[in-house]
Amino acid sequence: MCDDTFLFPSRQLHTPTNILLLSLAVSDFLVGLLLMPAEILRNIHCWFLGDLMCSLYIYVAYIIPSASIGDMVLISVDRYVAICHPLHYTTRITERRVKLCVCLCWFCSVFYCCLFVKDDLTRSDRYNSCYGECVVVVDHITDAINLVMTFIFPVSLIIVLYMRVFVVAVSQARAMRSHITAVTLQCSVSLTAKKSELKAARTLGVLIFVFLICFCPYYCVSLAGDSLFNTSSGTFVIFLFSLNSCLNPVIYAMFYPWFRRAVKLIVTLQILQPGSCEAKIL
């Protein structure tokens, strides 16, 4: 068994794109493990974990979505370079650089969210009107800054990159279907781009589209006012916000056969067998 088998059951999956997907999967897992149970407890039952745990929950509740959004931006950049600049992909997008970017993404999320909720971490009970309550109140200026930094700017970047990817992917698909032969090396490589790259772009496009559907209502309600979160509509928006983490694995399973085979390899404990990292997944 290889040292990193639990991260990727097969060496065939050790690619920059899959490293980004792994980071996104970790954030999805943390949402289901930490955020959703705590959110259910906070909204349905009395919060009995104390002020310190309330502050930590609020802190983590900001970190994980921020890291997920950062992963989406990195995935968009990865697909942009792979489709629009295929000649430079292997030199610009390496495993080492991607791992560094993922670490920076999580570090920046932790640091930024620490600044964002520092008052709640130091004075966790100042907004609690009674025992068993866990709330966070953010002023409008800070909320506007957070909206720009964690939603408007990254989502705008994602949309611009994927519009470019879509245009280039469509032109490449048409060129491959019509068997056009390029004159220059650049065009030849571009027109003969692997179908797997185009499929990956479409799949990750679906991933980002679902991400936008789930995240947009939350930030729209946040922009409209915190009071809306206390209504039934606000509860639904928060549920939809968290649902994105549940939908991502479903998308992986639907579009990636290797994902289903990898999950089977892990669930059946075949990854514990010697040489499991050499198993044929793709």
13 pLDDT tier (thresholds 50, 70, 90): low
188-213 pLDDT tens trace? 444 444 566 666 667 777 888 888 88
Query: Which residue do the tokens 């950049």 mark?
Result: 77
Domain range annotation of the chain: 11-278
Q: Which of 222, 218, 215, 235 is nearest to 68 (CA)?
A: 215
Name residues whose C-beta falls within 8 Å of residue 120's C-beta, 6 or more positions apart in sequence. Answer: 55, 58, 59, 127, 136
Please list, residue by residue across 203-216, b when 16 or more beta carbons sit within 10 angstroms of its beta carbon and e when fewer do: bbbebbebbeebbe
The label of the residue with tokens 């499929």 reads: 199
pLDDT digits (tens, 9 = 90+) for 129-157: 555 667 766 667 777 788 888 888 998 99
Chain mean position to CA 258: 19
Q: Of 33-37, 246-250, 253-257, which gets the smallest average pLDDT?
A: 253-257
Percent of the chain past pLDDT 70, that is, above it, reads: 68
Q: What is the pLDDT of residues 34-77, one digit of tens each?
A: 888 887 777 776 777 777 888 888 888 889 989 989 998 998 89
CA distance 68 to 74: 10
- How many Å apart are CA 8 and CA 25, to the nearest integer? 12
The reported pTM is 0.78
Instruction: Please name the residues in contact with 118: beta carbons below 8 A apart, sequence gap of 6 or more.
Output: none
Class for the domain spanning 11-278: mainly alpha
For the segment 103-125, what is each residue's pLDDT rounded down to a tens digit?
Answer: 999 999 999 888 877 766 555 55
Q: With cut-offs at 50, 70 and 90, classify the pLDDT of residue 176.
A: low
Q: Look at residue 100 in the predicted model and tell me its pLDDT.
A: 96
